[in-house]
Amino acid sequence: MSSERPLPETITGEGVHVELTHAHLDVTSVMNTVKSPKAGAIVLFAGTTRDNFGGKPVKELQYSSYAPRALKTLFSIADATKSKHGLTAITMVHRLGVVPIGEESILIAVSSPHRQAAFRAGEEALEECKAKVEVWKLEEFGGEEGGVWRANRDGAAGIPGPVEKTVSGVWTNQD
């Protein structure tokens, strides 16, 4: 489901930056992309891999995407959020591949003249991302249970693994 092009992939516009990458996410560099003398507030959201889901121990998450579409969707969300909330800037960076426990899978930074707009915009951008962006995650559980593929949404039901990629590039459940 990932693009044939090498990552990181980015789209940048006026005050809007979105990126997909396999690299570790750097909080400071993401915050620096939204800093401005016009901004009185910067809000940063860092989504991290937790060690459990639904009472089951989680070993790691693995994120996959259809990068060309995911980037366009991320940009559309970021651009609309910037306009709606009068932001100075917004950056959304999503990590792909294996994300171990405690590491960041997504960073969203927003800056605006006032804090209320920054807080609202940051949360809205995250919820829109989870609802619309073409990113999927394999939640690997500890022990013999294997993993579950989920849309990148909180609490959404998943498809039990093992899951393998077919020659056509379509993900299928092999059970």
Cα–Cα dist 47/25, whole Å: 11
Cα–Cα dist 58/133, whole Å: 23
Q: Residue 126 contacts by C-beta under 8 Å, 6 or more apart in sequence? A: 45, 47, 106, 108
Report which DSSP code applies to 30: H
- Peptide bond just before 160 cis, omega within 30 deg: no
The annotated binding site for substrate is made up of: 114-115, 130, 137-139
Cα–Cα dist 141/122, whole Å: 30
- Tell me the torsion sign for CA atoms 75, 11, 67, 94: negative
Report whether 43 contacts 122 (CB < 8 A).
Answer: yes
The annotated binding site is made up of: 114-115, 130, 137-139
Report whether 17 contacts 109 (CB < 8 A).
Answer: no
